[in-house]
Amino acid sequence: MTKRILVFILKLTAFGLLLLTLFIGSVYLGLFGHIYSNKELKDFRNHSASLVLSDNGSIIGRFFSENRTNIKLDQLPDGLIEALVATEDARYFEHEGVDSRSLLRVLVKSIILQQKNAGGGSTITQQLAKNMFGRQNLGWFSMPVNKTKEIILAGRIEELYSKEEILALYLNTVPFGENVFGIEAAARRYFNKSAAKLKTEESAVLIGMLKANTYYNPRLYPDHSIIRRNVVLEQMEKYGYLDETETDSLKSLPLELDYANLESEGPANYFLVHIRREAQEILEALNKDRDEPLDLNKSGLIIETSLSLELQTYALNAINNHLSTMQTRLDRQYSSGQSKKNLAALVDREIENNNLKDREQEMRPREIFTWEGFRNDSISLRDSIAHSLRSLQAGFIALDPNDGEIKAWVGGNDFRTQPYDQVFAQRQTASAFKPILYASALEQGAMPCMYLDNDPIVLTDFEGWQPQNYDHSSGGKYSIAGALSRSMNIPTVNLFFRQDFEELSEIWTALGYSQELEYEPAVALGTTSASLFEMSRAYAAFANGGMAVEPRMIRRIRTADGKVLYQDKNMKEPRRILSASTSELMSAMLQKAIREGTGGSMSGTYGVQLPLAGKTGTSQDYADSWFLAYSPKLVLAARVGAPYPSIHFNSGSNGSGSALALPIVAKTLQGVQRSNGLKKRFFPPFPELPEAYAYAMACDDYLDDSEIERILESVFSSDVTTFEKASKKAKRKARKKEKKGFFNRLFKRKKN
């Protein structure tokens, strides 16, 4: 009987071994899906995120399908390797891909005895095989087939790669949650540093996440993370990598994260939108001549940009600092009185237009943006809409006027929740338009010391419109330089009538504006809309001697190993828009605006002593405020406004260009002033006016009527208070007649 049982057991064992052999053979032969060959394993490459760098090599963003940055073997710190081996595979350096002792433990404890906490049997090499190629879903056969494949692949991997190379491959493939893959991306995400700089306790945190990357996520569950970190440290002590004193010391340390999610909270996410678009166009052109196409999300490219992270940081801090104060003031204004009623009416309109009437009082937790950070609060949909409508939005751009390189770009308050880019928002330009008008006059023969009438005017041919100065003053006459620096409206309207509108329109278009100018006197005061992008490009022509400039962002694209794929050589032929003399005189007048005019608080209030020219702008009812400033090597432009022009400050003390937009540029430049590098790089002194124009601005800004009438009585005799209502052709004739009477006697029109 015993013999029969023994024979039966032997036969059953033999049959089982035969089945196991047949099963393993069928897996090996690919009957349960493809088994990767030695060549495929040798050629394996992780998908790697493309990195976007600032002009000093700092990472400002990534493009990826899997957020992964591959790291080389020599960049892995010893503490990281030791933590991994001690925790995941203590006999890693002893086996050849499969640990038979671990497999036996799994067979007995996990399968036969059903002990859930018996531990896994996969070695680091087997886990690498899983990470490299994933697992198949084969129903009931999934586990045995996948495990068998991983054992086969682990043996092949051990033949092809050294132990150290396998560790590097593993750490580049392993997931860390939050769509983060590989140790380098994880180190950047949770500690804002390269993996090469990880401390032992930081390495233990990340290795601890491998057991369950959500449950042990140090941001979401710091208590869980600390417990798991300490287990890893104890494992390192157990296998001789740490002594007891070191372990106790490291376990006592608090969890210190420096969380950096570039994808949602990066320093230049609005800028990255345009980098992605431009880079994709470049790659499409490159791929036409390549057998293996480049993929922006997978090829691990290095994209070098023109952005100055230092300047960008100063701008972000300036916006945060200033708008946090101004938002509090605007919120206070809209909390009572007529402003509160106006806001309520606008909210009603939004609710009605979007068919939200039945949900307006719906209360639920909502994420609310504040300048102190996001907060979760249970508020109604109506209150949420009101909060959004009265939120001040700022746009900021800085570029080099000589080569067009973008140096800073802030498109809004928060890219994740407010993705619309304020740099491209079209808003009324207000007085920021005036330099274009004055430049056109200079092109037509005007000079800074020619005088313009400041007497009240009524334009009967334009529905009785009466332009008024900001301070409601009138009388006397202002020099062109004085009128521009003080942003006087009445003299500016007079200047509008005394030049050729067609030439003004041509210059406007040549400067790169998309909107068309209409022949209306209010155009002189900036009723035409434009974007910050367009305004900065136009002011660049004042800074660079009158040349057109095309903004540029990408300097170079290369592979991770340094091969240059694309180099921006800026070979475009320069195109002149304004004469050099006009550019020089405009810079002199706009420097005067900073020293003595509407930009005076730049030095007086904010202590900025850099060489600067610039102009403020305040649109009707303070709906939008502008400030543009420049040096010979940098243009800076800021605009602030709420989502709707109907939401605005009620007074110029808060809503003017000098109160709302100028401080952003000023606070940015305070940072620049402290940085010798940026200061020397972007703020050389303006060149002296050429000898021919040395005394072009040597005149008083203002003369009263008695003085000017005595000197120029015969010159200012034309009446511009009425214009014949007629067709466009008739208006053009009238303007030409005015030009003859004015420019021939006063401006003595020159040919450029």
More confident of the two residues 4 and 579 = 579
pLDDT at 725: 34
User: Which are the contacts of 578, defined by CB distance < 8 A and separation ≥ 6?
Assistant: 439, 443, 507, 541, 542, 546, 586
Element (H, E) at 481: helix 480-485
**pLDDT bucket at 576, cuts 50 / 70 / 90:** very high
For residue 697, pLDDT over 50 is answered with: yes
Look at domain 66-266 and name its CATH class: mainly alpha
Token pair of 396, please? 């900021």
Count the neighbouring beta carbons within 10 Å of the beta carbon of residue 268.
26
What average pLDDT does this structure show over 392-415?
95
Confidence at residue 747, expressed as pLDDT on a 0 to 100 scale: 44
Range 127-148 average pLDDT: 65
| 66 — pLDDT class (breaks 50, 70, 90) | low
Q: Provide φ and ψ at 68, rounded to 5°.
A: -140, 135
**For residues 669 and 519, what is the distance between their CA atoms, to the nearest angstrom?**
38
* CB-based contact 9:1 (threshold 8 Å): no
- pLDDT tens digits along 8-28: 676 676 666 666 566 555 555
Mean pLDDT of 146-154: 70
Q: Average pLDDT, stretch 228-255?
A: 94
Residue 56, number of CB atoms within 10 A of its CB: 10
151 versus 271: which is more confidently predicted?
A: 271
Mean pLDDT of 156-161: 79
Copy the structure tokens of residue 382.
């109506």
- 726 vs 651, which has greater pLDDT? 651
125 CB-contact burial (10 Å; exposed 0-12 / middle 13-18 / buried 19+): buried
pLDDT tens-digit map of 419-472? 899 999 999 999 999 999 999 999 999 999 999 999 999 988 888 899 999 889
Token pair recorded at residue 380: 């109604």
Query: What value does the mean pLDDT take over residues 735-742?
Result: 44
Mean pLDDT of the chain: 85
Tens of pLDDT, residue by residue over 280-303, are 999 999 999 888 899 898 888 999
What span, in angstroms and rounded, lies between the C-alpha atoms of 374 and 418? 13
Domain 393-747 in CATH: superfamily? DD-peptidase/beta-lactamase superfamily (3.40.710.10)
In this prediction, residue 116 carries a pLDDT of 46
Q: What is the pLDDT of residue 713?
A: 54
Q: Per DSSP, which regions of 115-214 are E strands?
A: 180-181
Lowest-confidence pick of 147-156, 208-217, 270-279, 488-497: 147-156
| Confidence at residue 298, expressed as pLDDT on a 0 to 100 scale | 84
Comparing 393-397, 635-639, 702-706, 714-718, the range with the smallest average pLDDT is 714-718
Residue spans of the domains in the chain: they are 1-31, 66-266, 393-747
Q: What is the pLDDT of residue 726?
A: 32
**Structure tokens of 48?**
């790697």
pLDDT level of residue 115 (50, 70, 90 thresholds): very low
C-alpha–C-alpha distance, residues 665 and 376, integer Å: 31
C-alpha pair distances (Å), 516 with each of 70, 520, 523, 528, 714: 50, 12, 11, 8, 36
- Report the distance separating Cα 366 and Cα 372, nearest Å: 16
Give the whole-number percent of the chain exceeding pLDDT 70. Answer: 81
Token pair of 127 as six digits: 């886990």
What's residue 173's pLDDT?
84
